[in-house]
Amino acid sequence: MKCSTVTTFNALASFDVELACGTWRDQATITLHETEPGNKIICEGFTNRVLRDAVLLFVRSQESHKNKPEVRRFLTELSEGLTEALKESDS
């Protein structure tokens, strides 16, 4: 890392989080997009593998909470989405 910056944002209104892996370049991004005023925070400069590893680590961290209804619902939706994506890629 060439530099280190820590910025804390408070009082964010509702927002969406988008994770994106590059298809042409090995560059991933995380975007926080505030829904009302439309402000964005974009984190970039890391590889697809780093983003994928972070997602896998997050999913694995949910193992100890798998009996909570909201975690089970999330993991079920994730599983269904992955199954659908794999079906589409096989055809």
Strands (E) located in 10-69: 15-21, 28-34, 40-46
pTM over 0.85: no
Tokens encoding 33: 């997009």
Tokens encoding 34: 């505030």
Tokens encoding 81: 């989405």
Over residues 57-72, the pLDDT tens digits come to 999 998 888 889 999 9
**Rounded Cα–Cα distance for residues 49 and 15 (Å):** 25
Over residues 5-36, the pLDDT tens digits come to 777 777 666 888 899 998 888 999 998 888 77
